[in-house]
Amino acid sequence: MGFPKQRLRRLRQNENIRRLVRETHLTVDDLIMPLFVRPGKGIKQPIPSMPGNYQMSVDKLVEEVKILEGLGIPGIILFGIPDKKDEMGSDAYSDEGIIQQAIIAIKKTAKNILVITDVCMCEYTDHGHCGFVRRDERSGHFDVDNDMTLELLVKEAVSHAKAGADIIAPSDMMDGRVAAIRDGLDENSFEQIPIMAYSAKYASGFYGPFREAAESTPGFGDRTSYQMDPHNATEALREVSLDIDEGADIVMVKPALAYLDIIRIIKDNFDYPVAAYNVSGEFSVVKAAAEKGWIDEKRVALEILTGIKRAGADMILTYWAKDAAQWLKK
C-alpha cells in the first residue's frame, strides 16, 4: 500500500504527534561535561577558542560543579593543567596533583555527580606527548615508549582512585593500558571503579581548541604513531575488542561527529556501553558560525547531539552539556 492511502506527513503535522512517534530521545541523562582545572584561587580564565568554557581554580571549579549537579547532569570529566611540567609528567600521579586536589574538593561539596578523570600524560609532560618519550635507535626519531608509559598511567589511575574518582578514563592510546590499569586498580582494592576507555581515538584535526584549553600541544611531531588513522574503521573494532577483553566497562569513540559510522558499527558489533566525545573542534566551529549569525546555535547543537545519540552512543561528552541541560528543560 502506498500513496495516497499512505501519507507519512500525517505523523508530522504537530509537535504532540511528533513527540509520540519520536525514535531517539536526547535527555540530560546522556550528558557529561568536560572541565579544566588549574592551580591558584579565584581563577575563571576564559578559553578564547572555546567560548563559554574556562580554566578554573579548584574553588571556582567546585562552584561550577554544584551548578551542573543542580541541572541534573550525571557526570563531569576532569582535565588538569599543572603548575609545573616535566619529562615524566610527575604532577599526573602526585597525591598533591591538581586533579587529585580537585577530586577531593568536589567530593566534599557535590556528592551526587560522577567524577570521571582523564588519565593521560600530555597535559603534564614538558614535551606535550602522552607518555614517556625516548629516542628510537633504529630510526633516530623520538617516540612514546609504550610499556614505560603503562607504568606511569597505572600510577596516575591509582592516585585518582585514592582521591575519590568514580570512573577512570584512559585516553593515551597505548597498547595494553586498560589491562594494566585494571590490574593496578584491583591490586589497590579499587575493583569497583569502572574504566571508560578511549578505545577508538583518532588522530584528528578537531582537537585544536582543546590543546589550547589543556595546554597540551606536542612540542615536536604529532600523535599519529599512537592515535588511530582516520581512514580506518575495522581497526576500531579490533581496538574495542581488545579493550573489552582487558576489562573496559565503557568504550569510547573520539571524535564523534566525523565518526558516527564508527559509533554505529561498535554498538552493533558489541552491544556494549558506548561513549562518544563531541570534541572541541566540533563545538567551536558551531560557536564561530553562530557568532556570525549564520546558524542557530541551540538548534544545531541539539541536532548534533541527537545525531550522536541516534548513531548509538549511550552517553555524550560535550562542551554543550550545561547549555543542553537547560535547553532540554524548556
Annotated binding site for 5-aminolevulinate: 211, 223, 280, 319
Q: How many helices (H) and strands (E) does the chain have?
A: 11, 12
H/E run at residue 66? helix 58-70
Contact between residue 127 and residue 218 where contact means Cβ atoms under 8 Å apart: yes
Contact between residue 263 and residue 273 where contact means Cβ atoms under 8 Å apart: no
Catalytic residue among 201, 267, 287, 309: 201
Question: Kindly report the CA angle at 56 between 298 and 314, in degrees rounded to 5?
Answer: 45
The C-alpha atoms of residue 183 and residue 179 are separated, in whole angstroms, by 6
Structure-block grid coordinates of residue 289 = 558560525
Question: Kindly report the CA angle at 196 between 25 and 85, in degrees rounded to 5?
Answer: 125
H/E run at residue 182? helix 177-187
Look at residues 225, 226, 228 and name the one whose alpha carbon lies nearest to residue 204.
Answer: 228
For the question of residue 107 being annotated catalytic, the response is no
Cβ neighbours of 315 (radius 10 Å): 21
For the question of residue 41 being annotated catalytic, the response is no
Provide the residue type at 325 as one letter: A
Find cell 582543546 and name the residue. Answer: 210
Sort 327 into a burial class: Cβ within 10 Å, 0-12 / 13-18 / 19+.
middle
Summarize the annotated binding site as residue ranges: 120, 122, 130, 211, 223, 239, 280, 319
Asked whether the bond before 255 is cis by omega within 30 degrees of 0, the reply is yes
Catalytic residue among 60, 254, 267, 287: 254
Provide the residue type at 219 as one letter: G
The C-alpha atoms of residue 177 and residue 149 are separated, in whole angstroms, by 9
Summarize the annotated binding site for Mg(2+) as residue ranges: 239
Summarize the annotated binding site for Zn(2+) as residue ranges: 120, 122, 130
- Catalytically active residues, by annotation: 201, 254
